[in-house]
Chains A and B, each alone.
Chain A
Amino acid sequence: MENKGLFLDRGIVLTIIVLCVIPFLLQNSFHYEIAIMCMLNAVICIGLNMLVGYTGQISLGHGAFAGLGAYVAVILSTTYSFDPVLSILIASVVLAIIAYFISKPILKLEGHYLAMGTLAVGIIISIVLTNEDHLTGGPDGMGVSSFHILGYVFENDIQWYVLSAIFLVFSIWALQNVVNSPFGRILRCIRDSETAAKAIGADVPYYKTYVFVISVVIATVAGSLYSYYTGFISPEESGFMRSIELVVMIVFGGLGRIYGAVIGAIIITALPQFLTFLHDYEHMVFGAIIIFVMIFMPKGIVSIFDVLKYEKKKEIKKDNS
């Protein structure tokens, strides 16, 4: 793993180029909305991937955490007229504290039990958001104040596109650094063997909690930004299906792969929009695509690149012999 001086690697450069080209292909506001949704979902998935893919701890509650975080930020800025950036910061701190206290008991569970535990927490959050209508507007949701950073107001699609793109590139870059660092190595060790992690002196519960909190904070920030962008928030965004959707994205793209989370998020977010011409058959085809990808590429869609790399290696070997 020679990564000295790997400030910007090929993957990041390619991502930046693609993100610069895409706006030329977007023709209307709806296209922008999908692009921005893809990017913010990708950011949430990067955080979730750190927990599920790299540390091996499943969470079926991240949709709810993203929704709750967004609500906290939105209520602060809309109802109590806080500065939006400050609101997101406060929401991050609040969610970090909540995640910390939830993770203490829940991360003692493993495998299916952890899935059930996080699922239950997610459903509880979703119910609270739906029923506390004096704060959240109930099932109808609520309008959201405009978003500005130090007085610079975000009002058109291109501004939002740039903000989301920067956020995404930064997240990819940071995660990539973390994964190959001593910190990330311990996370991967916990995934492969918790006993080994203990034997080399890692406090396993500490790391699990740390990653859980970080992934919830990332979800909070991305979830809040999305609400500010759409100008509306409803409990649906924190529902059970949303949490499942996030896990599907990272599994579909490739667990424990940096670009797996990104590509999975983009495909699962955008694909239904491309399939709308099928009308009633849309969901069926969407489901069939997911099933086929999982059958033929159980390690996710990015495993295609591994096969290509392997073929290339074989060719090089042939040339040498």
Chain B
Amino acid sequence: MSLLKIDGISKSFGGLKAVDNISFEVEEGTIHALIGPNGAGKTTLVNMISGIYSVDVGDIYFNDEKITNVPTHKLVNKHIMRTFQNLEICENMTVMENILLGFNINMNKNLLKCSFQFESILDDEEKFTHIALSHLKRVGIEEHAYTLCSDLSYGILKKVEIVRALAINPKLLLLDEPVAGLNGTETAEIAEIIKEIAAQGVTVLLIEHDMKMIMGISDNITVVNFGVKLAEGTPEEISSNPAVIKAYLGEGSLHE
């Protein structure tokens, strides 16, 4: 059974059809990649799934439950988390504080209890700090736990965002270009992290440009171009699909 089902969704900005009647399904426990040239509508698609943009036409189902146009903050309760192409990190906060934000829905946020520093608030804090540290260790950035995010490099912050999204044990993780702007070593590290996440049973919908990484780690690929679906299949099928090669990969990639 598919975990996420996109059923003919469309989105227009003024006269521009950014996403036009796209359908695909993401199987549970897989890494599903969404690729396409710049401006193909990939991010728009993810923004619709995560409720940041409204859907004009069509429906989105998660576990057979309709989640079309559900506000972003409510999707978190269904354990759908996402990261962003252009970092959405709180720069004036430490890495630890950013990760703790990820635990938001599990924490007690009663203002009265917070202002009088109730024991339960402090206990929560300690418990989640502990879990956050173990998450940070997993991706190898625990030494930056108490550094201000504005003092850290782009590569580390990309990892911080992934860890924040992992905080509440998501069922579906939407990664919007997690390796954009990173160097080879960092890309390989992130690919490793994504594989590890998937191995633990988290379904990943991955949007990326880096073909080497996509071909290496994804189970299924959906290709979009100019807002329409071009092809779908395993990495092998996609890399030999003539339409895809013409639109995106270029002749050279075939022989790489």
A residues apposed to B, CB below 8 Å? 1, 3-4, 6-7, 174-175, 177-178, 181-186, 188-189, 191-193, 195-204, 210, 214, 256
Contact = CB atoms under 8 A, between A and B. Distances in A.
Given A181-B114, A183-B109, 9 more contacts: A4-B122, A184-B114, A185-B101, A185-B104, A188-B90, A195-B52, A199-B82, A199-B165, A200-B104
A194 to B, nearest CB: 9
Given A181-B121, A182-B121, A200-B76, A195 B88 contact: yes
A33 to B, nearest CB: 30
Interface stretch (B27-35, B57-65, B91-99): B91-99
Contacts of A197: 73, 101
Interface string B38-82: 000000000000101000000000000000000111111100011
Contacts of A195: 52, 84, 88
Contact of A199 (B84, B109, B115, B125): B84
Contacts, number: 111
Label chain A's interface by main secondary structure.
helix
Interface string B149-173: 0000000000000001100100000
Contact of B126 (A4, A201, A214): A4
A182 B52 contact: no
Nearest to B167: A200
Nearest to A194: B88
Contacts of B121: 181-182
B109 A186 contact: yes
B115 A178 contact: yes
Given A4-B122, A188-B93, A199 B108 contact: no
B188 interface: no
A252 to B, nearest CB: 19
A195 B72 CA distance: 9
Contact of A193 (B90, B105, B109): B90
Interface residue tally of chain B, by bracket? 35 or more
Contacts of A6: 117
B124 to A, nearest CB: 7
B114 A189 contact: no
Given A178-B114, A199-B72, A1 B97 contact: yes
B73 A182 contact: no
Contacts of A175: 115
Contact of B96 (A1, A189, A203): A1
B175 interface: no
A185 B97 contact: yes
A256 B101 CA distance: 18
B94 A182 contact: no
A266 B24 CA distance: 62
Contacts of A4: 122, 125-126
Given A1-B94, A192-B93, A181 B117 contact: yes
B91 A174 contact: no
A202 B101 CA distance: 9
B107 interface: yes
